[in-house]
Structure 1
């Protein structure tokens, strides 16, 4: 039977995959009869979805039943497992069941093992870690091919630095570039792209640099500009954590006596060993103790934002603390 399990934090990539699946399965004329989605707060959503996917199709095309943000792969009671075992093996070939969730399936559960056994696709949509620049560049180039935009290697790297791991923003910016270059076969250069693309990640790196220098006024000024530009706090924190993590790895390798740039780059997950010299200069005035002490503050900041703390206040407070920590030479 056709059954799909999608999960991960890259909402935009998952939405695109769902749209492709929906267009492939459903006949647009009969979509209102053959397409049903169930929200997680609906009563007996799983049982209703299983009943719906067994309903005969009306007209042309197939049937698609979608359990949105389901917790089925994190918690599967025995009565629900029994329904799955009874229904999944006999679902008609032209009916399709889709399960999506932000959380990774718990593969220890009987229900997850059973779903995996029957799934046509068991697919993760994960965000690339902000510090894995080689994977970010790869994602930019793949997206550019999909959208139909020609990029030079330098522009690909610039876009990766600018948008980070925000897939939705990446496709929005590439679509903007596609419209700009319509009718031209010449690849874009960095100077042109820098005038068109919103450089949010680079601003986060500038914020990290101001914190590293202990320059509180500059750091708060950059933060204010980013928040005024509607930059999400969690995205800012993700970039800061990645940058401080990289600095810490490089500093620890330096203090251990390692001098080989390739070895340091491998340990710090840096794709280009030539960057090591510049990072070493950046962390020269900081100690391992200071960098280690910064990470719990950043994690506290991330948790506070996820728990609904006032974005402006908590970001300002923690950035002041981080600047003070980096300014105190040990």
Structure 2
């Protein structure tokens, strides 16, 4: 299929896919003749790109037309829609037409439905940091693409330390690939720990510090995350996702449910084996405490969206969350007289 729509916020992963597609289509000796890249924010530019896609390539290889940052799947005037209807079915096999956008296509739009019929659509969305299973699968997929063998624990360590930073994941795996050389043995977690740069200050660590009621550590992590230019709303989104997962698991455990598969399904976990570790993590906190965190997190999100200063508002709410999650004091037994 010579027509593609790539969308999502993972610019690095999308860039890799675009480069791979260009390599498959273009002849290196005829790049300047057969490559067209247009910022497709107007109907006129998109129509120009469609006309270029209908033009036969010069010399060897195919023609590659890239309509960058297109809004065609959000707003599409009738005249442009008619041009798409006329052109998309007729794009010759010697041309490849690529449309890219950071925004998710509007499934109700006629232009989106038309592209669903004639184009291959690929999503390049950033994986939410709390979806550990998806992060692990992403590490496994990129390692396979690089023909790199990793032990299961090495994969988990990379997912934990790098998160959804695709650019850094590729960089660290390239480093491990050089380290491994031509050996057939999989690279283990010790090599990963020694050779890779871990994003030690991440939002999941903040969630853990809050859950354990470690106020000083949590406030320190907030400051470091903000210094690293981590978007405040992204920090909050991670906290909401993590605390929601913990609450669902804790509710099921306290209700007497013992079937790990049932708990995992209720908490939307892809891997029931993770429950072994999650149970241990939740030993010191009860469901009512976790339930109290959600209104605070919603207030935090709403305040930031309304323009509150993250450097002041975020630490204040984190302290409030830590107080809610403080472990209940243990009373020592009374001494006998």
Same fold (TM over 0.5): yes
Max radius of gyration: which structure? 2
Q: Matched residues in 1 for 2:100 and 2:313: separation? A: 32
The residue number in structure 2 matching 1:260 is 259
Q: Post-superposition shift, 1:180?
A: 2.4
Conserved in 2, the CA contact under 8 Å of 1:201 and 1:239? no
The residue number in structure 1 matching 2:335 is none
The residue number in structure 2 matching 1:47 is 47
CA RMSD of aligned residues (A): 3.0
Q: Deviations over 1:23-72 (max 9, x none)?
A: 11122222222211222446722122122223343332221111112111
Q: Matched residues in 2 for 1:49 and 1:266: separation? A: 46
The residue number in structure 2 matching 1:23 is 23
CA pair 197-240 structure 1, distance change in 2 beyond 3 A: farther
Q: Matched residues in 1 for 2:299 and 2:76: separation? A: 32
SS in 2 for 1:44: helix
SS in 1 for 2:18: helix
Q: Deviations over 1:108-140 (max 9, x none)?
A: 222222222222x12222333433333322221
SS in 2 for 1:200: coil
Q: Post-superposition shift, 1:217?
A: 1.2
The residue number in structure 2 matching 1:143 is 142
The answer on 1:3 being equivalent to 2:9 is no
CA pair 80-242 structure 1, distance change in 2 beyond 3 A: same
The residue number in structure 1 matching 2:13 is 13
The residue number in structure 1 matching 2:68 is 68
Q: Matched residues in 1 for 2:305 and 2:11: separation? A: 17
Q: Matched residues in 2 for 1:99 and 1:15: separation? A: 13
Q: Matched residues in 2 for 1:270 and 1:50: separation? A: 43
Q: Matched residues in 2 for 1:326 and 1:132: separation? A: 22
Instruction: Summarize the alignment of residues 49-198 of structure 1 with structure 2, pairs less than 5 Å apart.
Output: 49-119=49-119, 121-198=120-197
Q: Post-superposition shift, 1:214?
A: 2.5
Q: Matched residues in 2 for 1:151 and 1:194: separation? A: 13
Instruction: Summarize the alignment of residues 268-279 of structure 1 with structure 2, pairs less than 5 Å apart.
Output: 268-279=267-278
The residue number in structure 1 matching 2:331 is none
CA pair 302-159 structure 1, distance change in 2 beyond 3 A: farther
Q: Matched residues in 2 for 1:191 and 1:64: separation? A: 44
Q: Matched residues in 2 for 1:140 and 1:240: separation? A: 22
- Mark the runs of 5 or more structure 1 residues left unpaired by the alignment: none
Conserved in 2, the CA contact under 8 Å of 1:201 and 1:236? no
Conserved in 2, the CA contact under 8 Å of 1:26 and 1:61? yes
Q: Deviations over 1:287-328 (max 9, x none)?
A: 444434434544565677788876544543442332234349
Deviates more, 1:319-328 or 1:81-90: 319-328
Conserved in 2, the CA contact under 8 Å of 1:200 and 1:226? no
CA pair 85-273 structure 1, distance change in 2 beyond 3 A: closer
CA pair 252-47 structure 1, distance change in 2 beyond 3 A: same
Q: Matched residues in 2 for 1:26 and 1:215: separation? A: 56
Conserved in 1, the CA contact under 8 Å of 2:37 and 2:67? yes
The answer on 1:323 being equivalent to 2:322 is yes
CA pair 61-314 structure 1, distance change in 2 beyond 3 A: farther
Q: Matched residues in 2 for 1:92 and 1:66: separation? A: 15
Conserved in 2, the CA contact under 8 Å of 1:131 and 1:242? yes
Conserved in 2, the CA contact under 8 Å of 1:164 and 1:201? no
CA pair 262-107 structure 1, distance change in 2 beyond 3 A: closer
